[in-house]
Structure 1
Amino acid sequence: MRLPVNHALPLAALIVLVTSPLAAKERRAPVAAPAASGPAADYPVVVGEPFTVAGTTWTPADQLNYDAVGYATTGEGTGVTAAHKTLPLPSYAEVTALGTGRTILVRIERRGPMVNDSLVELSGDAAAQLGVTPGSHTPIRIRRVNPPEAERALLRSGARAPERMATPEGLLGVLRRKLAEQSPLLPPPSTPPRMPTSLPLPQDSPVSSPAPTPKPAPGATSAAPQPPIRSAPPAAKPTEKPTAKPAVVSPPSASAPRKDGAFVQVGAFSVEANARKVAAQLGGSVSKAGKLWRVRLGPFQADTQAAAALRKAQSAGYKDARIQRGD
């Protein structure tokens, strides 16, 4: 005798299995993404928007050559990390204690400190490695760097990177003076000051020839009438009055001029066209001297004429113009 077969039972069992809470939980469980490691753990880099602390605006920026002095405090955070107002998150920086020169590497992970008189906030581990007392207001230098991946990995894992070479005392003195001249309530400069560099003299700038002997200022000749007064005629002729004119024309201190008189040398140029342009401007002449072209005014037989020509050249911008005797 054949028993009847119920074909609905297997289907019902399958429906119960699929719709059970355990099966639903297994279907909904997400697959956990592997944690970032290696260089990928430093990305993405966040810069952020400007923010204001007690009326002072701080603008975050991805500035590679950041180098500033300020004060450090201690606060939250684990590992050798720090909080900074403007450096990207994350980034790496060397922090130097200006009192000792001790320098460590930190990982910038947070924004802060939210006070204007402190530039950076160190974690407890970072403060311990730097050798500063927790809660102190320590003068520091902070400089952004790009350390090797091995040191980055140490800081990411919460360990310390090797200390840097101590900063020499000479540089510490410069940094302390820079900090003393800086207002603590303003954002510090992001780059250290640069030494000025001298600019080379342009090729066609006038090159003045040195005067053989220093000459008195033009006004000195007209203001020195004493020698002619001493050589005035005796008092037997009271009606004759000495005048200052002979003293201006031929002062005793000046030797008799040569027959070709005095010149005012304006300058010497390496390009003839430039020399002729200046000569036309001042009414002078051009002559070749070696590899240069000289511009001169004159000759003048009277010193007053040479002095007037000298003032004319100097007022035109040729401050190195000089009076020369003869050729």
Structure 2
Amino acid sequence: MRLNAKALAALLWLAGCSGGGDLPRPPIADTAVRSRDAPAPLPAEAGDARGPAGTSGMGASRYDTVGYASWYGDEFAGSPTASGTPFAPDAITAAHRTLPLGSHAEVTALGSGRTILVLINDRGPTHAEREIDLSRGAAALLGLGGEPTAPVRVRAVTATSSDAAALAAGRPAGLRLSAPPSLLAALRAQLKPAASTATPPLPRRRAPPGAAGYLVQVAAFSSESRARALATTLDGYVEPAGRLHRVRLGPFPDAAVAQRARDDAARRGYGDATIIIQPDQPRVERP
């Protein structure tokens, strides 16, 4: 028996209405819905009175501390860094005493919570009470606003390949989340009081009569402003010599202390720094 088109359509409709013809559907995971509705959880360290314990990608051995940051700029432009690359003031780099050259660190301003990623490419600071020396570009990105020093958190991290490439090319890395107020409060509680950032002019003074003063001559500039900027950074002084302005450190009590100062200047890119002995000579005002 042949069915016409209307009869065939009716049979198919009746079959579709039967209870056993539905195909099973996979359950919809409610985790995706929750992830859109719920706020992102704060890190475990937020509000912890013991201070930072967040994830850096480096495990329990990560470097994580608080201290004071300073910065340096045009006075070192083009000078070789400890890593061998010329210093670029506008790049997002930093000098640190112990973090490996070529590694990366997050720096958080404890006043604002702003956090940036920097490339460690130099050695410093020379001031014992400071934790890290930022390039001018890094200081501006962190929002230091021209202040000579600022309290910060320094945390070694493992950078992503894209962030590492950006920093190596002199560009900022991707944006970081600002630290929450509860974490900033815990970090500030660990901070030691800063020494006064003001450097009052020192009067002219002389070495003790008959004593040999060990000095380190770091560099000589035709530009007085560059010489004074470097002297301020190294805690040295400027001595005029005709049309040149010599940057010197000291006097030091013995040759061993002078040698350490000379080696530190060399690590900052001034490998021609030399030790000289100059008994009972006037010291000019510190800039």
Which structure has more relative contact order (CA 8 Å, sep 6+)? It is 2
TM score, norm. by length of structure 2: 0.40
When normalised by structure 1's length, the TM-score is: 0.35
